[in-house]
């Protein structure tokens, strides 16, 4: 019997890629105006800053998503005042959050699961503060029973520590938890390895869809009845 449904956030509850493109464009414009960089030069510096950040903190920690650190490192590379780092980070997230729109069916999905009644959880990579902000923007924070971020779990999906923490908070066996996410490897297969029931949300089917491992269910939209998700 299913007792909890746990969701990833980015590209699962809304289109992360679209919001990021808009926000990144805003920060690029700031860098061109205030730092004297070209758009291409800023992109190259940003990529290098990300590489430096990952080399320093590793790749399995939520710190790799910290925009403030990334912009700090970028400014240090060009000997520009780090004064700009918090302003760039604030600009990015203000524009990003304003661009976030829920995927079709999200509100109805969350409401139906709560009415079932099932526990509704979040299992997501990234730092907690902005994941909370996204859930507020999406209008479903009030429907969430528990949240696990990689910042809290100390490791990024597909490491099972994050999934184990979700199960612990759900208060039921892993076999009674459904995990829904957009990444086949990080979400579906990671959840399956930890004993949860995996659902792969594939809103943009690839030209050559991979053969799904036994036990992994694929859905194309949150508008598909949540009762089916809970009825695995």
pLDDT in the model for residue 227:
45
Q: Which of 8, 15, 159, 187 is catalytic?
A: 8
If you average pLDDT over residues 219-232, what whole number do you get?
66
Total H helices, total E strands in the chain = 10, 6
- Helix residue ranges per DSSP H, 36-159: 39-57, 67-77, 84-99, 106-115, 128-138, 150-153
pLDDT 10s digits, 24-82: 999 999 999 999 999 999 999 999 999 999 999 998 899 999 999 999 999 999 999 99
**Structure pTM?**
0.93
Q: Do 91 and 26 contact (CB within 8 A), yes or no?
A: yes
pLDDT 10s digits, 110-120: 999 999 899 99
Whether residue 44 lies in the annotated active site: no
- The contacts of residue 90 (CB under 8 Å, 6+ apart) are none
Going 160 to 163 to 168 to 171, the CA torsion angle's sign is: negative
If you average pLDDT over residues 123-146, what whole number do you get?
97
pLDDT band at residue 228, thresholds of 50, 70 and 90?
low
Q: Which of 10, 15, 159, 182 is catalytic?
A: 10
Whether residue 8 lies in the annotated active site: yes
pLDDT in the model for residue 205:
75
């Amino acid at each position: 019997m299913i007792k909890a449904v746990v969701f990833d956030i980015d590209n699962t509850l809304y289109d992360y890629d679209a919001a990021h493109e808009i926000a990144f464009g805003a920060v690029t414009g700031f860098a061109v105006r205030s730092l004297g960089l070209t758009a291409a030069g800023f992109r190259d510096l940003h990529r290098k800053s990300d590489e430096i950040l990952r080399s320093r903190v590793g790749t399995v920690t939520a710190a790799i998503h910290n925009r403030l650190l990334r912009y700090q490192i970028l400014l240090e590379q060009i000997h520009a005042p780090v004064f700009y780092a918090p302003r760039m980070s604030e600009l990015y997230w203000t524009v990003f959050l304003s661009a976030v729109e829920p995927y079709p069916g999200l509100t109805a999905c969350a409401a139906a699961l709560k009415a079932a009644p099932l526990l509704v959880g979040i299992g997501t990579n990234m730092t907690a503060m902005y994941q909370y902000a996204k859930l507020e923007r999406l209008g479903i924070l009030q429907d969430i029973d528990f949240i696990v971020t990689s910042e809290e779990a100390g490791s990024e999906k597909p490491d099972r520590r994050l999934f184990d923490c979700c199960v612990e908070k759900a208060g039921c066996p892993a076999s009674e938890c459904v995990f829904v996410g957009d990444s086949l490897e990080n979400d579906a297969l990671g959840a399956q390895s930890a004993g949860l029931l995996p659902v792969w949300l594939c809103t943009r089917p690839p030209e050559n869809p991979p053969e799904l491992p036994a036990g992994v269910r694929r859905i194309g939209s949150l508008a598909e009845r949540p009762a089916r998700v809970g009825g695995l």
